[in-house]
Amino acid sequence: MTDMAMESVSVDVPGKADRVRALAAFRLNDRIFYWVTRLSALLVLAILGGIILTLIVGAWPAMRAFGIEFLWTQRWAPQLKPQPVLGALGPLYGTILTSFLAMLIAVPAGLGVAIVLTELCPQQFRRPVRLAIELLAGIPSIIYGMWGFFVLGPFLADTFQPAIIAIFEHVPVLNVIFAGPPSYLSLFNASLVLAVMILPFISAISCDVFATVPPMLKESAYGLGCTPWEVMSRVVIPYTRVGVIGGIMLALGRALGETMAVTFIIGNSFRISSSLFGPGTTISAAIASEFAESDGLHQSALILLGLLLFVLTLLVLTGARLLLMRIERKAGA
């Protein structure tokens, strides 16, 4: 009996020691994972805080010199003596207008492409078209700018814009919005290039979220006699609205911050034009075109423009997040 007990102890003790070592290793791995993830999160917050602090420090001289009037001052005269007159109204107007027009064009087109690819396109063509859309998303922005300057701009100035100006020449309000003369460099041209640039983001993300809809829901709708339009508008889009809105907000963030493509074709004019065919500028284009040659208050004003763009983007993304949270709460209710 004693021998059997001794044998049991000799077998159980090493097994218990292995379990203790394994548990210790698990606890160590968990602790390492915990601190790595926490430090990563803190690093992201530290980088974000550093960027904000750097922008505030660089923009502080312009804040003190121009005050709140910087937001609604249109004139941009950095060489004026004894003190330059600088205002953000022109770049703010151009940024908001071009982004709005780009979204107005790209959202319906991007959703339409996604609907065709997921519901209407023959199976053998879906993969090549989807690949082409993803390749569009990977093209560098400077290539879009060169295409807009050398190809799209001449076509719009020589063919499209004269026709639109002639059509609305005697229509009140529209004859101001679409007033001439035609130009290679304009707010409309920049908006169109931005729309082409952000369209792949909207369509690719929409395709992905449309694919998450359970086939049973769509088949049931078709079985009840719904048309493809009714299936998309009443089943697919409501089911995936959170993902669709997320993709649209991602595209809007890209449109707000786009630099090189817009700089090529917007005209870089700080004066606000009532016509979409007139030149303009955006915050990112103004910074890209003037920062290398700036100093003093001029450079500080450009940094302040960057801070305004940061705040504008943050407000847009925060508003989008609140909208998504509200939609999710209503869906849960």
**Percent over 70 (pLDDT), the chain:** 94
Q: What are phi and psi of 280, to 5 degrees?
A: -160, -165
Average pLDDT over residues 282-293: 89
Confidence of residue 106 (pLDDT cuts 50, 70, 90): very high
Cα angle for residues 307, 311, 316 (degrees, 5° grid): 150
Length, in residues, of the chain: 333
Is the per-residue pLDDT at 306 higher than 80? yes
CB-based contact 176:90 (threshold 8 Å): no
Average pLDDT over residues 2-25: 62
Among 18-22, 57-61, 111-115, 182-186, where is mean pLDDT lowest?
18-22
Is the per-residue pLDDT at 16 higher than 80? no
Q: What is the pLDDT of residue 180?
A: 79
Closest CA to 186 of 151, 149, 150: 149
Q: What is the pLDDT of residue 53?
A: 93
- Say how far apart CA 82 and CA 243 lie, in whole Å: 53
Around Cβ 71, how many Cβ atoms within 10 Å?
13
Average pLDDT over residues 82-103: 90
Q: Residue 280, SS3?
A: strand
pTM assigned to the model: 0.84
CB-based contact 236:150 (threshold 8 Å): no
Closest CA to 248 of 97, 95, 52, 102: 102
Q: CA separation (Å) from 77 to 86, 88, 187, 225, 271?
A: 6, 12, 21, 65, 11
- Say how far apart CA 78 and CA 59 lie, in whole Å: 15
Q: CA separation (Å) from 231 to 95, 122, 129, 207, 241?
A: 36, 18, 23, 15, 14
Around Cβ 178, how many Cβ atoms within 10 Å?
19
Site of tokens 């229509």: 171
Who has greater pLDDT, 24 or 309? 309
Q: What is the pLDDT of residue 107?
A: 93
DSSP 8-state code for residue 212: T
Confidence of residue 160 (pLDDT cuts 50, 70, 90): very high
Q: What's the mean per-residue pLDDT of the chain?
A: 86
DSSP 8-state code for residue 119: I
DSSP 8-state code for residue 85: B
Is the per-residue pLDDT at 136 higher than 90? no
Per-residue pLDDT tens for 32-56? 988 999 999 999 999 989 999 999 9
- Per-residue exposure over 293-324, b if at least 16 CB sit within 10 Å of its own CB, e if not: eeeebbbbbbbbbbbbbbebbeeeeeebeeeb
Average pLDDT over residues 196-225: 88
Average pLDDT over residues 123-131: 83
Closest CA to 164 of 147, 188, 191: 188
Helices 241-257 and 89-115: crossing angle in degrees, nearest 10, is 140
CB-based contact 183:157 (threshold 8 Å): yes
CB-based contact 185:266 (threshold 8 Å): yes
Q: What is the pLDDT of residue 332?
A: 62
DSSP 34-78: HHHHHHHHHHHHHHHHHHHHHHHHHHHHHHHHHGGGGGT----BT
